[in-house]
Every structure is written in structure tokens, then in C-alpha cells.
Amino acid sequence: MASGSNSRGAVIPLRNVKVEPKVFFANERTFISWLQFCGLLLMVALNLLNFGDESAKIAGSVFICIAALVALYALYRFEKRAWMINRRVAGRYDDLWGPVVLCVLLVGALIVNFYLQFGN
């Protein structure tokens, strides 16, 4: 590959790029926002487990699993972005699939909850 090509994952020389501190803080703010959502989802799940009937306990278990998966995914994205920032990787820093998958999982969990509550 030619040294002047702009390939995916190419590393830009350190002397040409200055990373401002706000970039690191933006990455941390995004991670904290995802964790706040996981905490909210976990509170809903624990309320379903503690105060619900059998079908609500199943739905609460599903919500706990989703909260754990989202928290792990958020940690993965945070670490990947931090690695990319530290190495000045010219690549995509946005997340195209995370929010979509999260919405699909939540709608699926709500459908399971409604089916267990009202389908019997």
C-alpha cells in the first residue's frame, strides 16, 4: 500500500495530529451515558423481580440480561475508542449498530413481557 493512501485503520503520524482533551472526555461521557441507561434498566428489572408475579419475574430476568449485555458492550466500545484515540487511528468513531440492537432487544423484552402478562 502506498504511504499516502487513506486506508481504513491507518495510523496518522503522531507529529501531525494533536488530540485535544475534550475528545477523551467525550468518550467518557458517552460511556457514562450508556451506563446510566443500564442502571435505569436494572432498576426496572429489580422492581419486576421483587414486586411482580411469575411472568413479571421472567421479564425482569430478561431485562437484567439485556442490562448486563449493554453494559459490557458499552465497555467494549469505550475501550475501543480510547485505543483508537491514543493511537490516532483514522477510522469510524461513531456507533451505527449499538443503538439499533438495543432498541430491538428492548422491544423484544417488552413483547415477551406483554405476552406473559396478557397472553395466558
- Round to whole Å and give the CA distance between 61 and 42: 10
pLDDT tens track for 64-97: 999 999 999 999 999 999 999 999 888 888 999 9
Going from the C-alpha of 46 to that of each of 23, 40, 66, 78, 116, the distances in angstroms are 35, 10, 13, 26, 17
Domain ranges of the chain: 20-118
Name the pTM for this structure: 0.79
Q: What are phi and psi of 104, to 5 degrees?
A: -65, -45
pLDDT tens track for 9-54: 666 555 566 788 899 999 999 999 999 999 999 999 999 999 999 9
The helix or strand, by DSSP H or E, that contains position 10, with its residue range, turns out to be strand 10-11
